[in-house]
Amino acid sequence: ELLKSQPQTDAEKVAAIGYCFGGTTVLGMARAGLDLDGVVSFHGILATETPAEKGKVKAKVL
């Protein structure tokens, strides 16, 4: 929400990108249903103890 409130940010186009632990984190953000347009995970771990609930993931995942 803080990022979206900044005047230089296009609030309609917000994504998260992460590498390794950050890649795992952005996948978790998507599974949590955060208001993101997309997430990109580089070498993030796909296994999780909290799988996504049907219909909860809003972001496109790459």
Give the dihedral sign, CA 28/31/33/35: positive
2-19 confidence digits (pLDDT tens)? 989 999 999 999 999 999
Q: What is the DSSP letter of 16?
A: E
> What predicted TM-score, i.e. pTM, was given to this entire model?
0.85
Domain assignments of the chain as residue spans, ordered by start? 1-49
Task: Note the pLDDT tens digit of each residue in 21-57.
Answer: 999 999 999 999 999 999 999 999 999 998 899 999 9
